[in-house]
Amino acid sequence: MPPVPDFIRSNPQLAFFALLAVAASGFGQTFFIAIFGGALRQEFELGNSWYGACYSAATLLSAFVLLGAGTLVDRWPLKRVATLGVLLLSAGCLTLAVAQSAWMLLPGFFLLRFAGQGFMTHMGMTTAGRHFTANRGKVIALAALGFPIAEALLPTGGSLLIESSGWRSVWWLAAGVLLLAVLPALIWLAGNTGKESGQSESTATSGENDYTRTQVLRDRGFYCLLPAVLMTPFVVTAVLFHQAAIADERGWSMSVLAGAFGGYAAGHLLALFFAGGLVDRFGAQRSLPLALLPMIVALLLLALRQDSWVPYVYLALIGVAQAGTGTAGSALWPERYGSTHLGAIRAVSQACMVFSTAASPLLLGFLLDQGMNVYGVGLLLAAIILGGCLLAVFAPWTAKQKPLHATSE
């Protein structure tokens, strides 16, 4: 049996709980749901606009619900939270599996987006951020490996099953995997974490100066840092959603685009192995604006060049930025505000993230329809990210961070 890595030795079960929860969120992520678009539109005779509006509405609704439900991670034992998340995600899979009319897509999409992209991701990242301190960045990076794992397995496997046995069978199988494999594994990995009162062991021993969500919402620094946290999901969702339109204008073939997505996945995966250590060494607040720099370079490259090698490089750089900002952004809130109310605090940023991923494809689509070309889109997005970086650089430190800041000087 291989030795347990040093950075998770204090609680390896919770580290792998976080990894599995994030990976299981893939059943509610756009990269998996997108493979059913053609089949669902054909089955229910839907146009692209109605289908897209239904998906966006469900995603926006899930963001608002997550603001309240996200606090359950602070108040419930981890087993109960995991059970709720998996049951809701399974219900979303079953709703689509038995759907007989178009209106059933709305509750199905809502359950998938809320429980998958929202709640399961929130639960996994909150667990990683709360129960590990000295190596928090490394553990969050380990949990974030769940995203590329799901990206590699679910769309490919689902596409093959759609061709061989139909789209409904995929949703039946997804529900079975969640209920028969993922749920028992999460319950076992959760162990006895959390008391019946909903207080975890780490919560009971955390400092008295930990911030509440109300205090965080009054903190000016929170609003300086939140745009930088949201930049990556906002830009990645918009650019990837409209990648076909970008490729058409630049004259890139679908085969080039397919290969470039391999570079995106590779950049994301490889950068995760380094992102955690850098965050642990330099701190999350320092690391966040630095992690956005590869995305600025990527967008400038997209705007200024249209050679056939550009998609490989710019998507790989976006993958690197996604790994760095995802790790730094998740480690930022416990570093800055403590872990006692981390679920409630992360619920705000997670809900904002879900909202941004619902809004960004619509906004970029509007700009493209109004005649803005790829040159203009690339420069505009790069400028927006640069503004987010500057806000993060000048964000004030909290009292909890100042001792760490002074030590590292």
Q: Parse the chain into domains and list their residue ranges.
A: 1-201, 209-396
CB 314 within 8 A of CB 299: yes
Q: Is there a contact between 323 and 275 (Cβ–Cβ < 8 Å)?
A: yes
Give per-residue pLDDT as tens, 128-178.
999 888 789 999 999 999 998 998 889 889 989 998 999 999 999 999 999
pLDDT tens for 43-52 read 999 887 788 7
The domain made up of 1-201 is a member of CATH 1.20.1250.20:
yes
Q: What is the pLDDT of residues 246-305, one digit of tens each?
A: 888 999 887 787 788 788 888 999 999 999 999 999 999 999 999 999 999 999 999 999
Domains 1-201 and 209-396 share a fold: yes
List Cβ neighbours of 181 (8 Å cut-off, separation of 6 or more): none
Selection from 231, 348, 327 nearest residue 285 by Cα: 327
**Whole-prediction pTM value?**
0.85
The class (CATH top level) of 209-396 is mainly alpha
Identity at 262, one-letter amino acid code: G
Residue 200 has pLDDT above 50, yes or no: no
Q: pLDDT confidence of 207, banded at 50, 70, 90?
A: low
E strand or H helix at 91: helix 78-97
pLDDT band at 404 (very low <50, low <70, confident <90, very high): low
